[in-house]
Amino acid sequence: MKKILIIISVLAGLVVLTGCNPQEKEKIVKSKPRSVKIAVVENHNLPIVVNSVGRLVPNHEVVLSSQVSGIVQAYSVDTGDAIKANKILVALDPTDYQLALKEARANLLSVRARYAAAKNSFLRAGELLPEKVITTENYEKIEAEYKATQAAMSQAEAAVDINQRRLDKTVIKAPFGGLVTVRMVEKGQNINIGEPVMAIADMQSMRVKIHANEQDYVYLDKDDPVAVMVEAYPDSTFSGQVDRIGIKADPHTNTFEVEILVANSDLIFKAGMTATVNITIDEIKNAIMIPQNCVLFRQNRQEVFVVVDGDKAAVREVKLGRADGSSVRIVKGLLPGDKLVTTGSQYLKDGDSVEIIGSR
């Protein structure tokens, strides 16, 4: 009897378990709505900005070289000194050039004396020839002597001018005002023609060279607003000006060189500082911008999800435009007012039920 009761109990348990299976299966198939966050799509004006990084360099910079050889007698400025135009920077020992000039001047005086005598002889010969006091042969000799001394005087005058210029070049002056960036000579040093002595730079304004791609280049204009951020001054933005726009692309990068000027009257900028340049070349009106991380890349398509009918996910194929930081322009596929899924879209399929848990 006990054995029969046990068998009946086991059978009853199996019936109960079998009866519960459909309910559990139904519980597994039924899925909960997926939680998502959304943002209402809006349109904004999108500035088109050329962004590039370069280094500050002086607006004008030159390395001065000696045009004559000699021994450095003195220099009046050093690295970092401010200078004005025509200030004497380096002086060479002028003694040899002074002596050469003195010799040239003495030679000129001698030639002028011979020239004066030859000229008087020529004038007298011109008066005597018609009266046949002198022969034609003598007249021609006197005339030749006169012309020779005339040429010698011109040559002597040129020699004086040349030696004067050489003497003048023993003093090296600043061609423009600015700062001395490098001094390259020492007192007593013997230098040759063409040897550099100092480098100077005009830093009242600084120049930044950047490169623009051809898509942006065609819109560039010298009147475009320019903002310059210098890494050394992270809390400040400085106004710049487009100064030069290249007309030939670099064959290696296919970009065009653009030069920006930045005022530096307080001399806070130094050569070599890193600068970021933003040039606003145009503005797109009523552009639809969304976060880039909302875009899904699937099977050569760009997709986003929107919420429709209050709780349904709908997939939209979109066409992307220009990026702006972490946002990207949607050229096609979205309209203002659409409820864009911003969080949770990677787990969605078209038609899924969703629960909106927040917006941003």
Cα dihedral 249, 253, 258, 263 in deg (nearest 10): -160
Distance (Å, whole) CA 61 – CA 116: 51
- C-alpha distances out from residue 201 to 76, 83, 174, 328, 335, Å: 17, 10, 10, 43, 55
pLDDT in tens, 189-248: 999 999 999 999 999 999 999 999 888 888 899 999 999 999 999 999 999 999 999 999
Mean pLDDT of the chain: 88
The runs of H, that is alpha helices, within 183-287 are 214-217
pLDDT of residue 15: 41
pLDDT in tens, 22-68: 444 444 455 689 888 999 999 988 888 888 999 999 999 999 999 99
Distance (Å, whole) CA 187 – CA 72: 5
Low-confidence stretches of the chain (pLDDT < 50) are 1-20, 22-28
For the chain, the C-alpha Rg in angstroms (whole number) is 45
Domain layout of the chain by residue ranges: 34-45+286-359, 50-59+204-284, 94-169
Tokens linked to 124? 């007298």
* CATH class assigned to 94-169: mainly alpha
Q: Is the pTM of this model over 0.75?
A: no
Distance (Å, whole) CA 149 – CA 162: 20
Residues 6+ apart with CB under 8 A from 62: 175, 199, 200, 201
In the chain, count H helices and then E strands: 4, 20
CATH level 2 (architecture), domain 34-45+286-359: Beta Barrel (2.40)
Instruction: Place domain 50-59+204-284 in its CATH homologous superfamily.
Output: Efflux pump adaptor protein, beta barrel domain (2.40.30.170)
Domains 34-45+286-359 and 50-59+204-284 share a fold: no
pLDDT of residue 227: 95
- C-alpha distances out from residue 53 to 206, 209, 217, 298, Å: 15, 8, 16, 34
Distance (Å, whole) CA 269 – CA 232: 9
